[in-house]
Structure 1
Amino acid sequence: MYTQSSVPAMRTVDIDGLPVGDGHPTRVMSVLNMSSNSGYKPSVYLDPAEAAEAIENTLVPAGADIVDVGLQSANPKYESKPVEKELDRLEEVAPLVDELDADVPLSLETRYAEVAEAAIGYGFDLINDVCGFADPEMKSVVEAHDMPVVKMASPPDLAAPGALKTMDELFEALQRDGFTDQTIIDPAFGGWYDGKEFADNWELFRRLREFRAFGRPMLTATNREDFLGDLAGRPETADQLAVSLAAATMEAERGSHIIRTHDTKETHDVVKVADALGDERTVRAETDPGPTVAELTDVTVREVERNQSLGETLAGETGDGATLTFLLGDLAEDEAASVRAVAEVVDVVLVEKSSGALYLGGSAAAVKVVADSLAEDGHRELAGTLRESLSRRV
């Protein structure tokens, strides 16, 4: 009997009918600040009617897939507002939901579970948690409503959103308290606090692909960040459009599924080109029948190690998995058994992720042996998908 796992290679998160994840276009999240303490004034709209007009007449026509509403700035140069202030401001701006005619999901940026629950009641479609479940009630609130949520890498401190420095700290923060089925991760670019320097953000950017190890959609927010402007000698926020667009291109290529921006039109054009001309990959979304396969490109040894740290290595050495690499999900039991069996006798790395998906990596010759073995066992669809990738890479 054909029995499938319920675990796709990459989870897709549905935001009010908008799918986000591998096999879907890169989405553009437009920033709409409804607080006066924003560092970028062109994105500020204090009146709900004016905000609705801006969304309908400017942001959506420019290409916004999601609009992220902010009630206070997460930048540490501004004093953090308590939950009562956010609730009061949310009540003032909530009429935006009813006044808006455009069919676009609305995100609410917050750090408080009480604010998130109120926003869900008002009709918001996504919670953008800039403190990464630091509020101990946040996870249970969004989970109870099956609400999509962005979890930003952050310490368990409601007054210090994103205040982390190293890659290991970022991974540990995202792993802390786990995820819901509808969680999108955010690796937390930016200055955030005195100890984090431009070099730390550059290192994070270079190693962005490592976050694919979570097997979850990823949001990145680097628009008009000083760590990009510094590279081109553009310290002023107003002069950082070009560097932001250069970064957005690479973010889409390195695994970002949502790019948060103040510059909607320009970023929309960038991700269209990046999606069309980026690395061609073998991807079958979980909406299609059969096993789901996502090819990962430009895999480093460190990314293999990240995948091993988030799962159980069933076969192979770390160095075997940095040439051609795939995430396999929704496998029938006999398909998974065949993959495990051939991995024991071929120089590949095979990791069973905590989600249940299989991470397979190896040289072109080794992957060909896996594909041939799968075909001999009668798993021609899965074998054909692996061979499709080989035909382009070899």
Structure 2
Amino acid sequence: MNTVDAAGLRIGDDHPPRIMGVLNVSKESPYSPSVFDDPEEAATYVDDDLIGEGADIVDVGLESANKRFEVLSAEEELERLDTAVETIERVEGDAVFSIETRYADVADAALEAGFDMVNDICGFADPEMPAVCEAHDAAVVKMASPPDLDRPGAVEDVEDIYEALGRNGLTEKTIVDPAFGGWSEAKTLADDRETFRRLREFRGYGQPILVSINRKNFLRDVAGRATEEALPVSLAATAMAVERGAHVIRTHDVAETRDAALIGAEFTRERHRERAVEELDVTTPKEAERHIDRLEGDRAAAEASVARAYEVRPPSDRRQTLVDVAADTGVVCTGGEDLFVAGTVADLEVFADRLTQASKALAGVAGEIRSSLR
């Protein structure tokens, strides 16, 4: 996993989860507590409610990315940039300042004026964005999006999201964002939940991951909560996201999110990580496949990379048959009346096929194992 240095703030597996607080200088933005058009008031908010509560990064939005509003041009965003720049100049606390934009020209102007990094909500749809960020040696968040400056985040399926993040490449200092939320009419709550379940797959790019899940609908819907009641579900998901590999959490609820992220980090499984050997966080063949692709390997190896374990209750008169088939197929099998059975996905598929051939009485056991491997 690559570590990204964002103006001295190191982001990656070997560092604490980072909290990105949000400031908007766009009157259209729907979350009113974070919206300011007066630089002095905005700076006070940043110092007291963001940095003072534990934000490592402050993300400044020049316009609302809500699909209900007209997209501002680069020129219109630049007209608002002065307010953002004056705000960060007035801030007394220490943080990394990120400019949220889809335009390379705006990113360039913001970085020249004192911003430290870029949050590109259109995922390099402006083809000049990577070069601008590299020229400034700036970290950049790349949110999964189609190659269209008017449709940020408008990708739904996990496979399409993953592919979108790879489009137009990555810089050495790219942080990937799988674009949670209702960015398009086609995206469903089920789409977001599936992306969250498969969050570890995005580690396959070998770059840090940012998630923006604060009070999002796909979480609120699970618990039946309105936005103002949704902090607990956001915090639960934050801890889970960090445990699954997220490195930056973007939020309006800084102090609480910081605590939840630290809990997630504390209970994340320890993995060996040294200069020559890094143990990968892989729990499914698909997660293995993502890393294999990055390392230019053979995808066929994915199913031999992940193990599964079961407690199996075979018919008593077929127990020895199951034990013998396990021995023949390289599957671990031990125990008494009930058996502990474990092996790689590839070996277990062979094991299930051989069980079916060996005894009709074991076909049900074989079918359940085979079904679980999909």
* TM-score normalized with structure 2 length: 0.80
Q: Cα deviations across residues 45-95 of structure 1 (Å, max 9, x unaligned)?
A: 221111111122221121111111111111212221111110000023211
Other structure's SS at 2:297 match:
strand
2:76 aligned with 1:91: no
Match of 2:259, SS state, is helix
In the TM superposition, residue 306 of structure 1 has moved relative to its aligned partner by: 2.0
Q: Is the contact made by 2:242 and 2:261 (CA closer than 8 Å) also made in structure 1?
A: yes
Please tell me whether Structure 1 or Structure 2 has the larger radius of gyration of its CA atoms.
2
Q: Distance in 2 between matches of 1:162 and 1:73?
A: 13
How far apart, in 2, do the equivalents of 1:314 and 1:26 lie? 32
| Structure 1 residue matching 2:28: 3-state secondary structure | coil
Q: Distance in 1 between matches of 2:6 and 2:82?
A: 23
Matched, 1:265 2:265: no
CA distance in structure 2 between the aligned counterparts of 1:109 and 1:315, rounded to whole angstroms? 36
Which residue does 2:297 correspond to in 1? 313
Distance 1:300 1:314 in 2: 16
- Whether the aligned pair in 1 keeps the contact of 2:37 and 2:83 (CA below 8 Å) is no
Structure 2 partner of 1:41: 32
Superimposed CA distance per residue, residues 264-286 of structure 1 (whole angstroms, 9 cap, x where no aligned partner): 010011111221223222234xx
Given the superposition, is the C-alpha separation of residues 282 and 74 from structure 1 closer, same or farther in structure 2, using an over 3 Å criterion? same
Residue 57 (str. 1) matches residue 48 (str. 2): yes
- AA in 1 matched with 2:281: L
Give the TM-score, by structure 1 length: 0.76
Q: How does 1:377-392 map to 2 (within 5 A)?
A: none
Contact preservation (8 Å) 1:47, 1:93: no
Aligned equivalent of 1:82: 73
How many residues are paired up? 311
Match of 2:227 in 1: 237
Paired amino acid for 1:282: H
Q: Please state how far the C-alpha of 1:43 moved relative to its aligned partner.
A: 1.6
Amino acid at match of 1:252: V
Report the 3-state secondary structure (helix = DSSP H, G, I; strand = E; otherwise coil) of the residue aligned with 1:259: strand
Aligned in 2, Cα 1:316/1:78: closer, same or farther, shift over 3 Å?
A: closer
Give 5+ residue unaligned stretches, structure 1.
Answer: 1-9, 285-289, 325-346, 348-361, 364-394
Question: Do 2:60 and 2:84's aligned partners in 1 also have CA atoms closer than 8 Å?
Answer: no
Structure 2: runs of 5+ lacking an equivalent: 309-329, 331-342, 345-374
* Larger RCO (CA within 8 A; separation ≥ 6): 1
Moved more, 114-123 or 44-53: 44-53
Does the 8 A contact of 1:22 with 1:283 survive in 2? no
Residue 301 of structure 1, aligned match among 247, 266, 285: 285
Q: What is aligned with 2:22? A: 31
Alpha-carbon distance change, 198 to 320 in structure 1, aligned in 2, over 3 angstroms: same
Equivalence for 1:143: 134
Secondary structure at the counterpart of residue 313 of structure 1: coil
Residue 245 (structure 2) aligns with: 255
What is aligned with 1:101? 92
Would the alpha carbon gap of residues 133 and 316 (structure 1) be closer, same or farther in structure 2, given more than 3 Å must change? Answer: closer
For residues 281 and 264 of structure 2, the distance between their equivalents in structure 1, rounded to whole angstroms, comes to 16
Change (3 A) 1:48 1:243: same
